[in-house]
Structure 1
Amino acid sequence: MTASRAPLTRDSLRVKIAVQRVRLAGTEYRVIRPARPLKNGSLHKAGGHYEMYVDRTDGRRIGTLWLLAARSPRSLVYLPMRTAPAVPGFGAEGEQPLDLVLVPRAMQLRPSRWNRIRERLNAGNAARELRTASVPERDLPDIEADDIIPDNPKEAKKFVLRKDVYAETLLLTGGTAGFREGAKAIFAVTKDGPPAAATGFYQPVGCNYHTCRAIYDWDTTPDFRDWEQLHVAFCPQWSR
């Protein structure tokens, strides 16, 4: 059985990463990225919101990197997604492919620095340290549970991800609770998507039948209305 068809196991929370360090304006940035490119994971700005598409294999890699971001308060997590293959049935005029960066709140990264950081990361002589990272299963919230934002405003703020778009990149700044809830939505899509895609009703792009989650429902409280929804949907493996 291939990894893309396997049930969620402990190995599903293990990912090969490359660790890089960049010094800019007197500050050193530690950056975690996938060790190999994402083939079936893409991110676009589409109208007033953001669309992420994943298959099971790369969706699990992406979800594990979100969990790793929750455990890495001194590291940026960089997911190059702009160059992923096109998603079948998706790509209308005006939709913008984006990279994704998960930023721990404590790092206080100025978005305007990201482009220069990325240039140094992707330079031909940039050093990379290859590792295999593991995340404990307990870090992943129950993917069957409903999304519940705490009533206490102070507690609810822990789930908020600040959004910045700069240099063709969606930068999400937050903390442990926010990144783990994002991972929960992504893993739920990788679990429910394959059986749904096996039916004749499945539509790769279409809200009636495809498998999707809103990483957050910002409309539930005024504090969450300062930016558009990030939506993740399952897409079967597309041509590579």
Structure 2
Amino acid sequence: MKIAVQKVRLAGREYRVIRPAGPLRNGALYTTHRHYEMYVDRADGRRIATLWLLAARSPRSLVYLPMRTSPPVSSVYQEDEEQLDLVLAPRTVQLRPSRWKRIRERLNAGNAPRELRTASVPERDVPAPGADRVIPDDPKEAGRFLLRREVLAGTLLLTGGSEAFREGAKEILAVAKDGPPHAATRHYIPGACNYHVCRPIYDWDADDRWRHWEVLHVEYCPQWAR
């Protein structure tokens, strides 16, 4: 996929940022009822998943997905929901969340330089479909699989390690693959669990250790407002 690479210097540090070269047309992220809902079609689902895999392979780069400019999702968007951008931050970057707003302002300035590249990731980076993620009991080991969440400046900022980003990519790719044939051959109702294709990326409700986490839910959406 085509990406843009930008560098921003702030508070004596340089931040390298990867973003899609062009806008996402059919990929949107909302916060509602203490949950996070991501909607994708096939093409942008694959683009978003590739960016998650790039986050796993780029321990010194932030991955920025400007999703607030996407068109509203038809029949899903409600006025009380907030549309969000998404930032994937490897722990090794040591990004202070409070700095993100100023970084974004410099990235989106009219004169901000950007380098266009073509990025690809090998298929072996994607965890095997259906493979269960087993979170170790040791907190230090478990940290490799978990994402820390911050919400600020209209952005869901997820900080974690390579394993966590690869697991997220796996679920998004599954939605992008299974969603189109399901929507074409069966009755589709957005938001109704038995009538659409979706995956929870991070849902810790089944484990008392992670009850402070909200769900990040990805749903295939075949219809979009233009």
Q: Which interval holds the TM-score relative to the shorter structure? A: over 0.9
Look up the match of 2:90. 104
Of 193, 205, 226, the match for 2:212 = 226
CA distance in 2, matches of 1:216, 1:195: 25
Q: CA offsets per residue over residues 86-142 of structure 1, 9 Å max, x none?
A: 101112231100000000011111111000000000000000100001111110111
Determine helix, strand or coil for the equivalent of 1:158: coil
Look up the match of 1:22. 8
Q: CA offsets per residue over residues 8-66 of structure 1, 9 Å max, x none?
A: xxxxxxx1100000000100000000000000000000111000000000000000000
CA distance in 1, matches of 2:186, 2:135: 38
Contact 2:73–2:223 under 8 Å retained in 1:
no
> What code does the residue aligned with 1:149 have?
V
Contact 1:158–1:178 under 8 Å retained in 2:
yes
Q: How does 1:1-240 map to 2 (within 5 A)?
A: 15-143=1-129, 145-153=130-138, 154-240=140-226
Contact 1:38–1:58 under 8 Å retained in 2:
yes
Contact 2:3–2:119 under 8 Å retained in 1:
yes
Determine helix, strand or coil for the equivalent of 2:16: strand
Q: CA shift at 1:206, angstroms? A: 1.7
Q: CA shift at 1:221, angstroms? A: 2.6
TM-score (norm 1): 0.90
Cα root mean square deviation, aligned: 1.3
Q: CA shift at 1:216, angstroms? A: 1.8
CA distance in 1, matches of 2:200, 2:18: 25
CA distance in 2, matches of 1:123, 1:112: 19
Look up the match of 1:6. none
Identical aligned residues as a percent: 69
CA distance in 1, matches of 2:221, 2:95: 32
Q: CA shift at 1:76, angstroms? A: 0.2
Q: CA shift at 1:169, angstroms? A: 0.1
CA distance in 1, matches of 2:215, 2:134: 15
Return structure 1 stretches of 4+ with deviation > 6 angstroms.
none
> What code does the residue aligned with 1:106 have?
T
CA distance in 2, matches of 1:120, 1:90: 32
Q: CA shift at 1:237, angstroms? A: 4.8
